[in-house]
Amino acid sequence: MHKARLRRLEWVYTDCPVYFLTACTAWRRPLLAAPDVHGVFLRFSQRAAGRGVWVGRYVLMPDHLHLFAAFAPNALALPAWTKALKGAISQSLRDRGLASPYWQKGFFDHVMRSAESYEQKWTYVRENPVRKGLVTRAEDWPYQGEIHLLGVLD
């Protein structure tokens, strides 16, 4: 017997919540740390601002991605936006001739509640490439950055 999965909250107590989001590739395949995927991610994230979603800091690891994003009240819902992001990246992987599936089902999300927790989470995420032995200094990882300042947590 399986427990029913908890449903995502339909609303939170803020006008523009900031989410920490993690999505993993299917079977943890190393698909994401590549210039073409990074470019697709950047273009998708920059265009998202026109739809009320601002992507802040992010790290693309070979087999998963982490990002912080603020959602305006009229923005696409988090699950639909994440599905669209995965779809855009999937198209670039198809264009490269890679076989699907590309993603694990679902994703992990957490609503950030303070600037302090945002900084703590970012410090942990930013060091991922170092912990995995991909670089010796976090700032040397080419697939990370910040697209928009998410000052709503200040």
Q: Answer with the residue of higher pLDDT: 144 or 17.
A: 144
Q: Is the pLDDT of residue 12 over 50?
A: no
Q: How far apart are the first and last CA of the chain?
A: 44
Domains of the chain by range and CATH?
Answer: 23-153 (3.30.70.1290)
pLDDT range class, residue 113, cuts 50, 70, 90: confident
pLDDT given for residue 16 in this prediction: 83
Question: Over the chain, what HEC string results?
Answer: CCCCCCCCCCCCCCCCCEEEEEEEEHHHCCCCCCHHHHHHHHHHHHHHHHHCEEEEEEEECCCEEEEEEEECCCCCCHHHHHHHHHHHHHHHHHHCCCCCCCECCCCEEEECCCHHHHHHHHHHHHCHHHHCCCCCCHHHCCCEEECCCCHHHC
Specify whether the CB–CB gap between 55 and 147 falls below 8 A.
yes
Q: How many whole angstroms separate alpha carbon 95 and alpha carbon 107?
A: 24
pLDDT range class, residue 14, cuts 50, 70, 90: low
Q: Which of 68, 61, 67 is nearest to 131 (CA)?
A: 61
For the whole model, what pTM was predicted? 0.88
pLDDT given for residue 92 in this prediction: 96
pLDDT tens-place string over residues 49-107: 999 999 999 999 999 999 999 999 999 999 999 999 999 999 999 999 999 999 999 99
Whole-angstrom Cα Rg for the chain: 15
pLDDT given for residue 10 in this prediction: 45
Q: Is the pLDDT of residue 11 over 50?
A: no
- Burial class of residue 41, CB neighbours in 10 A (0-12, 13-18, 19+): buried
pLDDT tens-place string over residues 137-148: 999 999 999 999
